[in-house]
Structures are given as structure tokens and as C-alpha cells.
Amino acid sequence: MSILFLQFILEIMFLILVFLHISKKSSEVVWAYMFQSLALGIILFNSYLDSGSILLLVVVLLVLAIKVILAPLFFNRLIKKNALAFSVSTYINTPLTLIIISSLTFIAYSHKFFPLTNIIPGNHMLLALSLAVMFLSLFLIINRKGALSQIIGVLSFENSLIAFVVFAGLEQSAWLQIGILFDIFVWIIISTVFTNMIYEQFGSLNVTVMNKLKD
């Protein structure tokens, strides 16, 4: 695949992150994560085409199975079970959120991170965009009040980190990636169970109303 096509895929991941910041519906957040994970699967499939490794193809299939199919199924089941139609709000209003998103993107492309984004000079734009997606994912975790959105933020950060590693040529062995995917799958199950328990206990996934945890 050409660099321009991969940049287009990364731009989709970036736009999905922006959408995750402004979306008000829980189901939309889950769908957005699913499409972002699908974009990551395309990036990893490109690595498979370059290397021809069967194990890497297994990693791609596991990414699609866990991130594109199973994780959204768990989250949608959680939403339907607890009637979580609308996502919990953010700490910062939408205009200021968009300003911070623009600032984080500018920082990712700045000279301050040039040594990091220029590890492979030919992939400079891809690495800078991957770094911007990482920053936006961290900001999503911090800015969202809802536990479900924060979980999606963590998973989105993991997606962007994998994309950065791929374009930086820092790929680990396929067995290690399979092990990490297994850990992520177990983490998704545990986080979904805990999120469900939190809702049953507090009647909300808004982390700001969980003051009873201090008692």
C-alpha cells in the first residue's frame, strides 16, 4: 500500500478520535472505536503484505476478532443492559476541547518531537500523525467523566501506540503481539464486568459522583 493510503487511514483514526471527544451517545462511541480498530487492522495487514509472515496474519485476524467484533459486542451489551443511551459529559466544554485538540496536534508536529517522529524520515508524517492520535487518546481519558468513554480512551490509546510502533519500525515478535492481544481481551472482559458493577452500585458511570469510594 502507498504512503498516501496509509496516511489516509491514519487521518481516519485521527478524525474518529475528534468524533469521540464530541460524541454524546454511548452507542456512537462504541461504533467509532470499532471503525478505528478496523483502520488499525488495515495498517497491520499492510505490514503482513510487506513481511509475508503468517504469524503477523494471525495477529491481524485476532485484532479484527477482538477489537472489531468482540469488544464492541461487550460494550453494546453493557449499554443495552443498563440503558446507557447517552455518554457522560466532559470536564471541558466542546469549543475549548476543540482548541486543546488543535494545540495537541500542533505539538505533535512541532520541532520538540521531531527526533521522535523522524526515527524513519520517510514515515515522518505518519509518525507525527500517530503521535497526535496518542495525545488525543490521553486527553480523551482525562477529559471524559464516563467510565465507558475512559475505557474506550485507553483502548484507543493502545490502537494509536501500535500504529506508531509499526511506522517507527519497532515491531515486536508476532508471539508477543498475540500475548498482548490476549491480555487486552481479558482486560476488556474485566473492565466491562467492573463497569457493570459500578453502574449497579452508583446508578451512573459518571466518575465524579462516586464520592462514596472515599468512605
Is residue 214 predicted with pLDDT exceeding 60? no
Q: Give the torsion sign (CA, 80, 83, 85, 86).
A: negative
Q: Model pTM? A: 0.81
Q: With a cut of 80, say whether residue 10 has pLDDT above it.
A: yes
For residue 162, the tally of other CB atoms under 10 A from its CB is 22
Question: Average pLDDT of 5-9?
Answer: 86
Per the model's pLDDT, the better-predicted residue between 104 and 23 turns out to be 104
Lowest mean pLDDT among 26-35, 58-67, 78-87, 135-144: 78-87
For residues 198 and 109, the model is more confident at 109
CB 76 within 8 A of CB 137: no
Tell me whether residue 60 is exposed, middle or buried, using C-beta atoms within 10 angstroms of its C-beta: 0 to 12, 13 to 18, 19 or more: buried
**Average pLDDT of the chain to the nearest whole number:** 81
pLDDT of the residue at 215 = 52
The model's confidence at residue 35, banded by pLDDT at 50, 70 and 90, is very high
Query: Percentage of the chain surpassing pLDDT 70?
Result: 77
3-state helix, strand, coil in the chain (%, to 5): 80, 5, 15
The answer on pLDDT for 164 being more than 70 is yes
Region 28-50: mean pLDDT is 87
Q: Which long-range contacts (CB under 8 A, 24 or more apart) does 178-181 make?
A: 178/55, 178/58, 178/59, 178/62, 181/59, 181/62, 181/63, 181/66
Q: Say if residue 133's pLDDT is above 80.
A: yes
- According to the model, what pLDDT value does residue 81 have? 75
